[in-house]
Amino acid sequence: MKIVTIVGARPQFIKAAAVSRVLRQDVREVLVHTGQHYDDNMSQVFFDELEIPRPDYNLGIGSGGHGVQTGAMLAGIEEILLKEKPDRVLVYGDTNSTLAGTLAAAKLHIPVAHVEAGLRSFNRRMPEEINRVLTDHVADLLFCPSKTAVANLTAEGVHDGVHLVGDVMYEALMHAVTLAHQKSDVLERLNLTPSSYALATIHRAENTDDPERLARLMAALQEVSCKMPVIFPVHPRTRGKLGPLAAGGDLRLLDPQGYLDMVRLEAGASVILTDSGGIQKEAYWLRVPCVTLRDETEWVETVAQGWNVVAGADCDVILGAARQPVRPKTRDDAYRGEGSVMRLTAILAGNAGAGGGGE
Ligand code: UD1
Ligand code: UDP
């Protein structure tokens, strides 16, 4: 059986690392990197640290508007699929690389498996929401991380091929936590002690493309940094959009971090402020309180269990949640992290081109 896997962006390298390690025991995997992320610290570092096999193809598409970028990927992936003739295409998450892989495969009648199916923000202004909805309505194997995700698909009439396998990112994280403790010296380099700093990331279009909103978020981070250092690895999308920082506080802008340093920073943080999907979950798994810098979240269980506060760009809410973070006594893993990779790969290996039944 041959599977073509499509990746292109940072979180997809991390998820694919966990799955490929197991999948390759049973399946011939052809790895395609679209080139959506291309800076060393957005791409190569993850391949090196997580020992992801070198991609069989790198399309080198790079950055661009949604149409230009997705269109170029679509053409490039189609060519590879015509040549490789796989039994199935595997896509992750909700990026333009996900959508391009899905469309290219579907038009060639190649079955599509979607990892992280069923997530919804119910905000159609998010490019990711469009990518997810379209992918879920074309895929024939839908791997859901949560019961909510399954329910979202049911509500849209998607029943066949839906499997609640859990979230493969958990095992990626656990693997990295072990490695990070052996290999990362980021806390020492930054002269930080655990539980004495906040960690922040911002990269969502809704935050970076609205100068007034971004300025409010930065003002909030600056305010938090008057109480404790705020470590802010800056996504390249955000870097060019930051205005001058006000004086005062201890807000430290860093380049994007490799995964091991990032995981060590997350594990040691007293609070994480982020608009990232992956980091909200990592905070939850690491039992670090999270403040989500968005108006909604797909990861509603983290909020329901009290580990995450959806603060939007409201300075008062952000400051309140960051200054007095809540650490609930319990945390049920709503994402059934343990064993997710095995559950998913077993279904994949047994379903080369078939639809697969619901679980
Ligand atoms: C993409 C995904 C988003 C995901 C994020 C993970 C889409 C629509 N968005 O957003 O869902 O959460 O990846 O990080 O697919 N850039 C560089 N170097 C790079 C990559 C990007 O400088 O290696 C800069 C470019 O200016 C580019 C901008 O970042 O225009 C945005 O990159 P892009 O891949 O289009 O979207 P992300 O914001 O990274
Ligand atoms: N990440 C990283 N270095 C960074 C920022 C993020 O390794 O400087 C990791 C993070 O730990 C998580 C993933 O990248 O595993 C999340 O990616 P991102 O926030 O870019 O995208 P999203 O999850 O929102 O799609």
Q: Which of 33, 37, 203, 235 is catalytic?
A: 203
Query: Which of 63, 92, 234, 276 most suits a substitution to test ligand 1, by most atoms within 8 Å of the C-beta?
Result: 63
For residue 75, the number of C-alpha atoms closer than 13 Å in the C-beta half-sphere is 7
Indicate if ligand 2 lies below 6 Å from the C-beta of 8.
no
Write out the DSSP string of 118-140: T---S-TTSHHHHHHHHHHTT-S
Give the model's pLDDT for residue 355. 40
Q: Which residues contact 355 (CB under 8 A, 6 or more apart)?
A: 111, 140, 141, 160, 161
Ligand 1 in reach of 127 Cβ (< 6 A): yes
Mean pLDDT calculated for residue range 328-336: 92
Q: What is the mean pLDDT of residues 144-170?
A: 98
Q: Residue 257: CB within 6 Å of ligand 2?
A: yes
pLDDT value at 354 more than 60: no
Closest ligand, as measured to the CA of 116: 2
pLDDT for 24-71, tens place per residue? 999 999 999 999 999 999 999 999 999 999 999 999 999 999 999 999
The H or E element that residue 58 is part of is strand 57-58
9 CB within 6 A, ligand 1: yes
- The pTM of this model reads 0.97
Report whether pLDDT(244) > 90: no
At 352 the pLDDT is 52
**Are 111 and 85 spatial neighbours (Cβ–Cβ below 8 Å)?**
no
How many angstroms does the Cα of residue 114 sit away from the middle of ligand 2?
A: 19
> What mean pLDDT is predicted for residues 144-165?
98
* Annotated catalytic residue 203: yes
What's residue 356's pLDDT?
37
Q: Which ligand is nearest to the CA of 278?
A: 2
Mutate to test the pocket of ligand 2, among 49, 115, 262, 282 (most ligand atoms within 8 A of CB): 262
Asked whether 275 lines ligand 1 (CB < 6 A), one says: no
Index of the ligand 2 atom closest to the CA of residue 233:
8
Q: Is residue 36 in contact with ligand 1, taking CB distance under 6 Å?
A: yes
Q: What pLDDT, on the 0 to 100 scale, is given for residue 357?
A: 37
As a whole number, mean pLDDT of residues 92-114 equals 98
Q: Identify the residue whose C-alpha is closest to ligand 2 atom 17.
A: 11
pLDDT, one tens digit per residue, over 194-239 is 999 999 999 999 999 999 999 999 999 999 999 999 999 999 999 9
- Sheet with 251-254: strands ordered across: 251-254, 230-233, 198-201, 271-274, 290-292, 308-310
